[in-house]
Structures are given as C-alpha cells and as structure tokens.
Amino acid sequence: MPGKRCNEYADFVTPFDEYRSNVEAADAVSVQDPAIPLLDTRDGPYTNVGFGQADVNQYGRDATINLGVIIAGFSAVELELWLDAEPNRPHLSSATPAGSSSSSSSSSSSPTDTWVRVAKKTFGAVSELWVITNIPPGKYKVKVASVTGGGNLSIVESHAA
C-alpha cells in the first residue's frame, strides 16, 4: 500500500521511555535483585499481523537497545547490560519421569543464576546515547557498576526486536 511501511523484515523502535532516574550511587546488589528494573524486549510493539505478513519480530531476529545515558555531576559512570539467559523449554513436561522419586529436586542440576553480562561501557561526564545491537530479544537489566564523583544519573530506553 502506498504510504505504509511493510512490517516484514523491518525494525520498529519504541519511543524513549524512562528506565531509571536520579541514580546517585552504584548498584551494590546482585543483578538478580528486583530493585533493578527489568527491560523486556521480547514482545514487538506491533501485535497485529495482517493476512500474508510474517511475524518475524520474535523469531530469529536480532534486537537493539538504545540507552540515553544522562549524566549530571559524575565524572565517570560504568554501566553493564545483563541478559536473563533462562532457557525456554515449552517441550518439557512438568510430569515426573518414570522410575524417579518425586521427592528429588532437579534444581541441583539447573543453574539458579541465569543472568549473563552482554555488554559493558564506561562514560565520561558527558551524556551519551549507547546503542547495543545484534542481541537476542529477551529480559535485560542495566546495572550501574561504578560511579566517580557526586551527582546523579538517569537512563531512558528505546528498543526494537
């Protein structure tokens, strides 16, 4: 159709939204802590897929995260991007296999911490846009690893999957 962009093989970027604001110190907690907000890039911004169009947003496409890092007063800030690499296992049933005890737990063989670091960047005293590309759609967290000096930090985000 004239005047409309085809959604097949296109990236739709969400508008910038506040992710964290007025951060005054580095995160002393583990990335698993719920105090660090979750950034979910799994669902595409468009849910209506027309007749004959492919929904490629969630199947084999690389995601992009755009972080506006707004620095006020700090002389240096180090950020880390973490991904929850919990495997998606819809093909496994929750039934106990034959011959095994129902009291035994499978948690001893599965990792409890599935967060992996994807990227790390150090910023100076100037606000910047950090663009992270070629990453899988998933659940992410941005951890403030360290800060130098006094001030505050705000992060706005936009993403595409």
What is the tens place of the pLDDT at every residue in 101-136? 444 444 444 556 899 999 999 999 999 999 999 898
Whether 16 has a pLDDT exceeding 80, the answer reads: yes
The CA distance from 11 to 73, in Å, is 35
Q: Give the percent of the chain with pLDDT over 90.
A: 48
Residue type, 118: V
13 is written with which tokens?
């970027």
Cα–Cα dist 82/88, whole Å: 17
Burial class (CB in 10 A: 0-12, 13-18, 19+), 63: buried
Q: What's the average model confidence in pLDDT over 156-160?
A: 91
Residue 49 identity (one-letter amino acid) = V
